[in-house]
Amino acid sequence: MRTAGLLMGDVDSLLKSVSEHPVIESERLFFKGVENKDVYNPSKEFLINGEEFLFGRVEPRDNSELSKVFLFKKEGNSWIPDKKFNPIINSEDPFTSKINDDFILGCVEVVKMKKEHESDPDKLNYRNVFYRGKNPW
Residue-wise pLDDT tens digits, 4-14: 555 666 777 87
Determine, yes or no, domain membership for 119: yes
* Gap between the Cα atoms of 97 and 93, Å rounded: 14
Confidence of residue 73 (pLDDT cuts 50, 70, 90): very high
With a cut of 60, say whether residue 47 has pLDDT above it.
yes
Determine, yes or no, domain membership for 118: yes
Per-residue pLDDT reduced to its tens digit, 98-111: 999 999 999 999 98
Determine, yes or no, domain membership for 56: yes
Determine, yes or no, domain membership for 23: no
Domain that includes residue 57, residue range:
29-133
Rounded to 5 degrees, φ, ψ at 11 are -65, -45
Give the number of domains in the chain: 1
Determine, yes or no, domain membership for 16: no
Give the closest residue to 94 by CA, choosing from 74, 65, 72.
Answer: 72
With a cut of 50, say whether residue 2 has pLDDT above it.
no
Compute the average pLDDT of residues 26-39: 92
* Gap between the Cα atoms of 34 and 56, Å rounded: 11
Looking at the chain, the whole-number percentage of residues with pLDDT higher than 90 is 62
Q: How many CB atoms are closer than 10 A to CB 123?
A: 11
